Copies of this chain bind each other. A is one copy, B any other.
Amino acid sequence: MSNENYHHENLKADLIKKGLKLLDEEGYENFSLRKVAKACSVSHTAPYRHFDSKDDLILAIAIEAHLKFNQCLEEAVNKHPKDNKSQLKEMGYAYVKFFVENPEYLRLFFLSDFANNLKKMNHESLLNGEQPFNTFYQAIERCQGEIQNREGESVDPNAMALSCWGLVHGMAILIAKKDFSYDGDYLELVRKVLWAGTFLDL
């Protein structure tokens, strides 16, 4: 560390941090490698010593964001230590809330390179129990025994998973993207949907 101007103490971490900030501020569309480099006061090719490509940096940022997301979901679970259904409902609410409050993460999670990045991510660092979709999925599985439909039959686990996840995911996107317009408190409406006695009371 003799010449402070040459070696940036921890550039890799800084690129992720500043990159996430840039993404928040300017949006996915206006995100560029060179801007991130400039934000870190470093030459425009310096990131290549730490990331293979732009997509690779975005992937790293996405992983970072997933950790935040996962934390939100787990906090929701912990609100209802012994009630599986309430866990799942609370988690659905947190799921929507997270994306409504961080709409830019939607693109990061689900659009960065359409399945490619996310697929890679799933197979790598997030498979060690920190994957939010696993967190969500597991909560669904814990409920499975407790759910019947109106005829008292048990429910197809796959149909239930798709249904729960789809509902929550769809609401999050529609609201975050402002496609669903409603003249009131969106999150309150979500609460109503999830606790209406229909969700999970198949």
A residues neighboring B (CB under 8 Å): 27-29, 103, 107, 110-111, 113-115, 118-119, 133, 149-151, 155-156, 158-159, 161-163, 165-175, 177-180, 182, 184, 189-190, 192-193, 196-199, 201-202
Given A150-B201, A163-B167, 12 more contacts at CB 8 Å? Answer: A107-B111, A111-B111, A114-B177, A115-B177, A150-B150, A156-B192, A158-B184, A162-B175, A162-B190, A165-B170, A166-B180, A169-B170
The residues of B that contact A107 with a CB separation of less than 8 Å are 111, 114
The residues of B that contact A150 with a CB separation of less than 8 Å are 150, 197-198, 201
Q: Do A197 and B159 touch across chains, with their CB atoms under 8 A apart? A: no
Which residue from B111, B119, B174 sits with its C-beta under 8 Å from A166? B174
Which residue from B133, B174, B190 sits with its C-beta under 8 Å from A179? B133
Supposing A103-B114, A150-B197 touch, asked if A169 and B159 sit within 8 A by C-beta, the answer is no
Which residue from B114, B156, B170, B189 sits with its C-beta under 8 Å from A167? B170
Q: Do B155 and A196 touch across chains, with their CB atoms under 8 A apart? A: yes
Q: Do A114 and B162 touch across chains, with their CB atoms under 8 A apart? A: no
Q: Do A158 and B170 touch across chains, with their CB atoms under 8 A apart? A: no
Name the CB-closest residue of B to A178: B115
How long is the Cα–Cα vector from A163 to B111 in the complex, in angstroms? 23
